Amino acid sequence: MARERLSGMADDATWHEFASREELAEALASAAADVLQAAIERRGTALLAVSGGTTPGRFLAALSRQDIEWGRVTVTLVDERFVPEDSPRSNARLVRENLLQDKAAVARFAGLFSDANTVEDAADRAGERLSHLPLPLDAAILGMGTDGHTASFFPDAGNLKSLLDRFAETIVAPVHAASGGEPRLTLTLARIVEAGFVALHIEGAEKHRVLEAASGAEAHLPVRAVLDRARQPVQVFWAP
Ligand SMILES: O=C(O)[C@H](O)[C@@H](O)[C@H](O)[C@H](O)COP(=O)(O)O
């Protein structure tokens, strides 16, 4: 059973807390599916951005089983490691193996990686590709690291200030951050916070503590910028 509470957190993020990660996955998948189907009914199409990492696999599989008009949905990534799609580190691979299956197999996928000489060139190419998608995003599903990063907004990213620029016109930016491992490609904050539905999917006590801190005294953590600037209050989905 979900326990839902408004918090005094930054910009009134809404917490949805679940007894299990399985229950969270099903609830978030249902919420995301509702948002996508409503977008299809409103504008004939839906645009979804999902994150990678180790948390979202269960949610992505649950979403693939949702019965919506997947043929009208385009899926892209919140961020991507600068690696080929056959790499075990690839978020595109995670999405193809977990989301673009079952009912969602017919959805269109627009990844961020391309085999460019530099991550900067790859970001330019991705930005050009995504500029032809029906922006703004209808839904953005974010994760968070225990360092308070979300997307590829790593605290040690050299261009963090421009990544978090709420007025940026850039769609995809390159990121070099030692804490992020290989170079990254990321949607900018400006493209994420304009989404009609922004969910933050976190699991475990440590991430709960970090997000509470980010919403309070530790306002410098990158995730706080999303909480403060999202067009709609961020929907936090958490399980132990
Ligand atoms: O490419 C990525 O790694 C993600 O998009 C990233 O932003 C992720 O959401 C956090 O790093 C949390 O990762 P975990 O789910 O592995 O804790």
**Residue 167, strand partner residues:** none
Pocket test of ligand 1: the residue of 75, 79, 237 to mutate, having most ligand atoms within 8 Å of its CB, is 79
Q: What is the mean pLDDT of residues 210-224?
A: 94
Report the b/e string of 115-154 with b at 16+ CB within 10 A.
Answer: eeeebeebbbbbbebbeebeeebbbbbbbbbeebbbbbbb
pLDDT of residue 2: 64
Q: What is the mean pLDDT of residues 3-11?
A: 53
Whether the predicted pLDDT of 10 surpasses 70: no
How much helix, strand and coil, in percent to the nearest 5, is found in the chain?
40, 20, 40
Whether the predicted pLDDT of 11 surpasses 70: no
Report the candidate in 72, 70, 67 with the shortest Cα–Cα distance to residue 43.
72
Calculate what percentage of the chain has a pLDDT beyond 90: 93
- Structural contact between residues 90 and 83, judged by C-beta atoms closer than 8 angstroms: yes
Q: Is 32-180+195-204+231-239 a domain of CATH 3.30.1330.60? A: no
- With cut-offs at 50, 70 and 90, classify the pLDDT of residue 165: very high
Across the chain, what does the average pLDDT equal? 95
- Structural contact between residues 73 and 36, judged by C-beta atoms closer than 8 angstroms: yes
Q: What is the pLDDT of residues 95-121, one digit of tens each?
A: 999 999 999 999 999 999 999 999 999
Pocket test of ligand 1: the residue of 21, 24, 28, 55 to mutate, having most ligand atoms within 8 Å of its CB, is 55
Enumerate residues 6+ apart whose C-beta is below 8 A from 104.
63, 64, 66, 70, 73, 75
- With cut-offs at 50, 70 and 90, classify the pLDDT of residue 3: low
CA of 5 to the centre of ligand 1 (A): 25
Q: What is the pLDDT of residues 177-206, one digit of tens each?
A: 999 999 999 999 999 999 999 999 999 999
ipTM over 0.90: yes
CA of 53 to the centre of ligand 1 (A): 4
Q: Which amino acids bring their CB within 6 angstroms of ligand 1?
A: 51-55, 78-79, 91, 143-145, 150-151
pTM recorded for the entire structure: 0.96
pLDDT of residue 233: 94
Calculate what percentage of the chain has a pLDDT beyond 70: 95
